[in-house]
Amino acid sequence: MAIPALTARRARLNRLDTKGSPYLYVLPFFLLFGAFGLFPLIYTGYVSFNDWNLLDAGSHEWVGLANYRELLQDPYFWNALGNTLSIWALSTVPQLLAALWIAHLLNHRLRARTSLRMGVLLPNITSIVAVTIVFTQLFGRDFGMVNWLLGVVGIGPIDWQADTWSSHLAISIIVAWRWTGYNALIYLASMQAIPHDLYEAAELDGASSAQQFWKITVPMLRPTIIFTAVISTIGGLQIIAEPLLFAGSSTPTGGSDRQFQTAALFMYEQGFREFRFGYASAIAWTLVIVIAVFAIANYLITRRIANDEEKS
């Protein structure tokens, strides 16, 4: 009499265990994500509909879409968005191509292969501030090494901060230097998952090393290439520390004429120099939408490219 009841309870507990405990296991992630991801996201959205003064102990007033309306008519926002896209394109495209090439090299049998593979990650684990400060010195106008090298081949000293093209190029190099190795390692990992007999068969058919790379390696890496393109887009559109430190005077306007102020830096300026917390939050949300659009576009484009290569 008592025994069936016990087994029934045990069965119920068992069922609860198999059904419930997985949720318990993933709960910490969702709690953390809720506190540090979702809540700030929603709260930022709420703030963006207010005229919110950060300095004055957060006094605020509901203004609806006024911040967004102002933003769309703000020439400095469009300027910052243009700079962001330019720096993103200048850094991401060469960066991913270089990463692919480096991964290809590291995939071969080399001397000191492990140290080399570790080595390419070093720039990524170095402090971003340290990297930018060192590069800003290299790009110095009067005593920088880059200008010195250019001087050797007869190109006059360049004031890297002064012009739009030169500042974008310099910042892109800093970004690429940090992230190329990281992407190369991701490519390398998935290159090693490509079955070796594909290459053997290609070699028997007389395919050259370059042909093997373009016809086997790249198509097989398609999911990875899509992944890195999307991740680089998300990262590239949020660049802030490099242009802030590159200016040399720690002002968040990105140069004398805002020539290298990125969207994230513009957000920082509005939030923490102008103390317009609501406006800065509107910029943050607009940036989220822009990044989402670009990530999706990127996904579609890279999928297409990789598909084409598979077919040809």
Partner 1 sequence: MLLSRSVRALTAAAAAAVMLTACGSGGDEGSAADGGNVTLNVNLFGNFGYEELYKEYEKANPTIKIKQSTAAYNDHHRNIATHLATNSGAGDIEAVDTGFIAQMRAVGKQFTDLGTERQSEYLPWKWQASLTKDGQQIGYGTDVGGLAICYRRDLFQKAGLPTDRDEVSASWAGGWDKYIEQGQKYTEKAPAGTAFFDGAGALYNAVIGQAPVGFYSEDDTVVVSSNPEVRKAWDLVVQAVQSDLSAKLLESSPEWNNGFAKGQFATIACPAWMMAKIKDQSKNAAGKWDVAAVPGGGGNWGGSYLTVPKQGEHVEEAKKLAAWLTAPEQQAKVFTSKGLLPSIPALYDKPEIAQYKDPFFNDAPVGKIFTTAAKELKPQYQGPRTGDIQTTIRDGLVRVEQGKQSSDESWQQTVSDVERLAK
User: Residue 111 interacts with partner 1 (CB under 8 A)?
Assistant: no
Please name the residues in contact with 298: beta carbons below 8 A apart, sequence gap of 6 or more.
229, 230, 233
38: Cα separation from own chain's centroid: 20
Q: Give yes or no for residue 22 binding partner 1 (CB under 8 A).
A: no
92: which 2 tokens? 């991401």
Counting contacts by CB under 8 A, is residue 126 touching partner 1?
yes
73 binds partner 1 (CB under 8 A): no
Residue 250 touching partner 1 (CB under 8 A): yes
Read off the DSSP letter of residue 312.
Answer: -
CB of residue 75 vs partner 1: minimum separation in angstroms? 10
Q: Which range in 24-32, 138-146, 177-185, 196-204 contacts partner 1 by CB under 8 A? A: 138-146
First to last CA, the chain: 73
In 3D space, the residue among 47, 23, 7 whose CA is nearest the CA of residue 271 turns out to be 47
Any contact of residue 115 with partner 1 (CB under 8 A)? yes
> How many whole angstroms separate alpha carbon 20 and alpha carbon 306?
41
Please identify which residue in 2, 3, 6, 122 interacts with partner 1, judged by CB under 8 A: 122
Q: State the number of CA atoms in the 13 A half-sphere of 167 facing the CB.
A: 22
Q: Which residues of 62-90 are buried (b: 16+ CB within 10 A; e: fewer)?
A: ebeeebbeebeeeeebebbbebbbbbbeb
Among residues 60, 66, 141, 227, the one that binds partner 1 under rule CB under 8 A:
141
Is 243 one of the binding residues for partner 1 (CB under 8 A)? no
Rounded Cα–Cα distance for residues 81 and 302 (Å) = 23
Spatial contact of 142 and 230, defined as CB atoms under 8 Å apart? no
Number of residues that bind partner 1 (CB under 8 A): 34
Q: Which of 8, 30, 159, 292 binds partner 1 (CB under 8 A)?
A: 159
The nearest distance, CB 64 to partner 1, in angstroms, is 19
User: Closest CB to partner 1 among 55 and 292?
Assistant: 55
205 belongs to the binding site for partner 1 (CB under 8 A): no
Is the Cβ of residue 217 or residue 262 nearer to partner 1 in the bound state? 262
Interacting residue ranges for partner 1, rule: CB under 8 A: 54-58, 114-115, 118, 121-122, 125-127, 133, 136-137, 140-143, 159, 162-163, 248-251, 253, 256-257, 272-275
